Amino acid sequence: MSKITVDARACIQCGACVRVCAIADVFEIRDGASVAVRPERCWGCGQCVSVCPVDAIDHDAFPLEKCPLIDNGRQPTGEQLAILMRARRSARTFAERPVPRDIVRDLASVSRWGPSAQNSQDVDWIAIDDRARITEMSKATLDEIRRFSHLMRHPVLRGVLRLFLGRELTKSAGRNPRVGEELLDRWAKGLDPVFYNAPVVLVGHTRSRRAFARDDAIYAAYNLMLAAERQGLSTCQIGIFQMTAEHSNKVRRMLGLSEGRTAQVTLVLGYPLHPFRRLVPRRMPELVWNPR
């Protein structure tokens, strides 16, 4: 349980900690000061310490020396942020240049600043930078695709697949039967159509069967992708491997995932062989106010 105390002499009863902690509901104003009346409900997000205008809250997980003041002057402008977002592209060509492990470690570390359901902070990473193992994983993915395409040709087995994989995935595979064949063709020509010969593959994983685990992993991955872009590295999400990792025990074993952990997102990372020079336009999302 968290140890939280409020310095009653410093507290100005502004109620900010009470209001920001609306779901866990740890604080109440009592006898002229805020008091952590339900510390057992704290889920460790640190918003109370982050918001208190007079630094009156002492939370054992958030000592003030680990919680620097937010310096708005050091934040990127809206335009700088948008340029970074637009500059991030999915790379499928990589230079034959290894990515130093320290850089990969730093990128995994910034992934933690994303939101997570109930502040679970549960996304961890597996990094693979061994070429032979990456090739093995590509091969396993293509073996699965081959098996899958074979089963999809059989009307009864297609129905069984739908039960296991869900209607959407089976329908989408049925709509694009050529995709699997094209990947297999490229593999036969000595190319790597799964990981594009990237020097690093990153797999974000979480506890299995936790609500919103995929969402947490995607936020973490997107942070990592933006940070990589800022460092001159490129990334691409590899959904095709993700699907394999979800359904193949062999791939699970290859990843060394422990019991109770599930792969949620897969990325490739490396220095781009052909860096992108121009930002391109994108469809403007529709925005509807107060629809009926």
The residues binding ligand FMN (CB under 6 A) are 89-90, 92, 236-240
CB of 19 to ligand FMN, least distance (A): 36
What span, in angstroms and rounded, lies between the C-alpha atoms of 183 and 147? 13
CB of 92 to ligand FMN, least distance (A): 6
Count CB-CB contacts under 10 A for residue 6.
21
Residue nearest to ligand FMN (CB): 239
CB of 88 to ligand FMN, least distance (A): 7
Nearer to ligand FMN, 18 or 165 (CB): 165
CB of 207 to ligand FMN, least distance (A): 21
Q: At what angle do helices 155-165 and 167-175 cross, to 10 degrees?
A: 130
Nearer to ligand FMN, 90 or 172 (CB): 90
CB of 91 to ligand FMN, least distance (A): 8
Nearer to ligand FMN, 26 or 238 (CB): 238
- In terms of DSSP bridges, do strands 124-128 and 200-207 run parallel, antiparallel, or are they unpaired? antiparallel
- DSSP string covering 53-121: TT--EEETT--GGGSPPP-GGGSPPHHHHHHHHHH--B---B-S-PPPHHHHHHHHHHGGGS--GGG--
CB of 166 to ligand FMN, least distance (A): 15
Nearer to ligand FMN, 201 or 236 (CB): 236
Amino acid symbol at 115: P
Nearer to ligand FMN, 4 or 240 (CB): 240
The alpha carbon torsion through 50, 53, 59, 62 (nearest 10 deg) reads 40
CB 6 within 8 A of CB 34: yes
CB of 1 to ligand FMN, least distance (A): 38
Nearer to ligand FMN, 156 or 284 (CB): 284
Nearer to ligand FMN, 47 or 237 (CB): 237
What span, in angstroms and rounded, lies between the C-alpha atoms of 162 and 258? 27
What span, in angstroms and rounded, lies between the C-alpha atoms of 114 and 131? 30
What span, in angstroms and rounded, lies between the C-alpha atoms of 25 and 37? 9
CA 236 vs CA 11, 263, 270: distances in Å: 48, 16, 10
